[in-house]
Structure formats: C-alpha cells, structure tokens
Amino acid sequence: MVRSIAVTVVAMWVLWSAPRAGAYEEMAVVNGGTIAGTVTITGGKPIPKGFNLITFPDPVYCGRISTGTGWRILEEFTVSKDGGLKDVVVMLADVKRGKPFAFTPPTIEARDCRFLPFVTVVRDDHDVKVVNMDPVMHDIQAYETSHLGPRVLFNVPLPMNPHHPKSGVGAEYHKHIPGEPMIQKVRMTRDRRIFVMQCGFHAYMESWGLAIEHPYYAITGPDGSFSLAEVPPGDYVLTAWHPQTGPMLQQNITVKAGETATASFEFKAPMGRRSAHEIVENPHFGLEALGRSIEIRPTLELQRP
C-alpha cells in the first residue's frame, strides 16, 4: 500500500523533463559574473497533506510533530512572510564549460520521522547517504522519474542505532543517535532527472532531489534567495524547480564579465485538494479506533493546517 502511494506521488510530477546538457568541461573562470535573485510563490500557502498517525507505525514517537489531534502534516512549502519560497533548485540548463565541479554526495537524515533536507541535489552514478537518527525503524523507497514515468532505484531498510532503548520509546524520548549509514548509488536512466525518497513505514516522510551535471546550481534559502557565482560570460537559460509546483520555470539571462545579473521567478501555488491525503475529522479514524488508550501529543512541534 505504501509503495503504491509512493508511485502515485511520483507520477504527479511527470509533466516535465529538463534537457540534459552535453559533457561538462572544467576550466579556470577569469572575471566571471554572478546571477542572483529570489524565488517567490503567490496565492497563499497550499493546503498541506495530512496523514492520520494511527494508520502508521510509531504514532506516539512520530506524533512529537503533529496537530495534537492525531494527524501528521507533510510540510512541502516553506514560505517567508513576503512570499519567498524555500527549497527551490535554481540552475543553468545549458552551461557547457565553467569552474571545477567538486560534488559532495548528499546526506539525508531521518530525524523525528521526517527526511532532512526536504530538497537536495543528486548526481548520476554517485552515492546518496541516508542515516537514521530516530529510535524507530525506517524503510527507504527511492524512485527516479520524468515525463517517461517512474522507476525504482532502490528499496532497503534503514535500521536504528542499537543504543536506542528497545521499548518504551514515546514522545518524551529526545535522543538522536546515528544508525549505520545506508549508502546507495543513484543511476538515472533515459533522461530522468527527478529523485524522490519515501519511508515505506511512514508515508509522510519524503525527500526530493534533482539530478545535476555541473556546479551552477543553488537551493533557495528561507527567504527564497539564490546566487550563482563564477559564471563564464555568455547567454544562458536559467531554470527553477520545486517538487510540488508542477512544471519547472525558465528564462533567458545574459551574464557579463565581472557583473551581477538579476533574475526572479514566481510560482503559482497549487490550489484545492492536491492528493488523497487530507485532514478529515472522522470518528472511524480517531484514537478510539485503536480500542485502547493512547496519547499522541506534539512535544517537539505543533503543526497547524
């Protein structure tokens, strides 16, 4: 069931595919330029996806981040007061030559029943490392996707550190101890560019990545800002991608030697119901459905729809 949910989630974003550039050539960049700007979102913060905690394992511990009424929300959009959108990958789509590309494989943590960071970048034929910091088990299901559809990359368990207590772990337990790292190689096929990872036990745990082939990319911060440095002078196509806003955005941009070119992107917020996951007060899915007394309370973060 959880795997089918993951495939459905992936399939939502097969609406676009970015063209893959040719082989990237490293060179010394003399008097390069900079591209700087901001990504914003209009239309307000989209309705979040809600997951009833009693339908998944470890409801008490994972309920440390919850609504206080038995629901867990997947925070896909982090928006500043002035509309700046976090977790957007901004990159040049067609750069052929430029500064050295020293890629560090990403590390994704399972912490408090969520994957951090929510958005990262991956590179074809390079590793991705996942570490379980929680006192509960997680299961990693990773997919790649594009307009061609999804394909499974790997599906492996993510064990917890044996020094966590074997039982009695509840909302009061706050230790994070790294388990044995799970390291897998990412092998994209047939122009697929999007990487998504979900926990097979806790469907509200997701992490997304975009495959990159050169160092001219940035992931927006909490205010939506980005900057690309040491760009060789020339004409380029600049792109912006967020995993939950639909098709990527792009614009032409000219970089001049020693100067800063400015660019801005504006996404429109998805409207209405976005998935089958929605918070609905239904007595059949209340805590009493378990047939026993259980208290799910947010001790780390109180989420609000």
- Residue ranges per structural domain of the chain: 2-302
Round to whole Å and give the CA distance between 173 and 160.
14
> Averaged over 199-225, what is the pLDDT?
96
**Does the structure show a pLDDT above 70 at 181?**
yes
Q: What is the mean pLDDT of the chain?
A: 88
> Averaged over 115-128, what is the pLDDT?
96
DSSP characters over 48-97: PEEEEGGGSS-HHHHTTEE-SSSEEEE----B-TT-BBSS-EEEESS--E
Round to whole Å and give the CA distance between 182 and 155.
11
Round to whole Å and give the CA distance between 119 and 220.
10
Asked whether 224 and 1 are in contact (CB, 8 A), the reply is: no
Distance of CA 22 to the CA centre of its chain: 26
pLDDT tens, position by position, 78-108: 999 999 999 999 999 989 999 999 999 999 9
The predicted structure's pLDDT at residue 292: 63
**Does the structure show a pLDDT above 90 at 218?**
yes
The identity of residue 237, as a single letter, is V
pLDDT tens, position by position, 53-87: 988 999 999 999 999 888 999 999 999 999 999 99
Strand residues in 159-199 grouped as ranges (E) = 182-186, 194-199
Helix (H, G, I), strand (E, B) or coil at 243: coil
**Does the structure show a pLDDT above 70 at 1?**
no
The predicted structure's pLDDT at residue 13: 41
Bigger pLDDT: 7 or 100?
Answer: 100
> Averaged over 101-118, what is the pLDDT?
96
Round to whole Å and give the CA distance between 233 and 245.
31
**Does the structure show a pLDDT above 60 at 5?**
no
> Averaged over 204-223, what is the pLDDT?
96
**Does the structure show a pLDDT above 60 at 14?**
no
Q: How much of the chain, in percent, has pLDDT values that exceed 90?
A: 70
Bridge-based pairing of strands 234-241 and 249-255 is: antiparallel
Give the pair of three-digit tokens for residue 101. 């590309």
Asked whether 199 and 3 are in contact (CB, 8 A), the reply is: no
Give 272's pLDDT tier (boundaries 50, 70, 90).
confident
The predicted structure's pLDDT at residue 282: 63
- Residue in 192, 220, 196 with CA at minimum distance from that of residue 90: 220
The predicted structure's pLDDT at residue 46: 86
- Residue in 80, 87, 10 with CA at minimum distance from that of residue 45: 80
Asked whether 216 and 228 are in contact (CB, 8 A), the reply is: yes
Q: How much of the chain, in percent, has pLDDT values that exceed 70?
A: 88
Asked whether 270 and 46 are in contact (CB, 8 A), the reply is: yes
> Averaged over 274-300, what is the pLDDT?
72
- Total residue length of the chain: 305
